Amino acid sequence: MSSSDSSRRSFIKSVGVVAAAATCGAAGAKAQEYKPQEQKKLTQAAARYQDHPNGMDACGTCPYFQFPKSCVLVEGDISPTGWCRMFTSFSPLDRGAHQ
């Protein structure tokens, strides 16, 4: 092996280390910036919220409702007898358990 082969390998290794460090640094910064708990809720208008039920469906039976008067998805005061287009009767935790 010549000395130029050795120095070329050394150079390639150092470039790889620098590239890996740069990639990890960028990913680390993005992970720190991502704060899902700070995601905004929908406005009541965007969710087409109404302060009365839609037939038998109402916020009080929706899994996104939070007692006494708020919602995980929609901002502002939410009535247990209200309703919006995100209404569901399935629990968000109940995924993939059906056969």
Q: Count residues binding ligand SF4 (CB under 6 A).
A: 15
**Binding to ligand SF4 by residue 61, rule CB under 6 A?**
no
Q: How far is the CB of 27 from ligand SF4 (least distance, A)?
A: 33
User: Which residue in 50, 53, 64, 75 binds ligand SF4 (CB under 6 A)?
Assistant: 64
Phi-psi category of 11—alpha, beta or left, where left has phi over 0 and alpha has psi -120 to 50?
alpha
What separation in angstroms does the CA of 11 have from each of 24, 25, 38, 76? 20, 21, 44, 59
List interacting residues with ligand SF4 (CB under 6 A).
47, 49, 59, 62, 64-65, 71, 73-74, 78, 82-84, 86-87
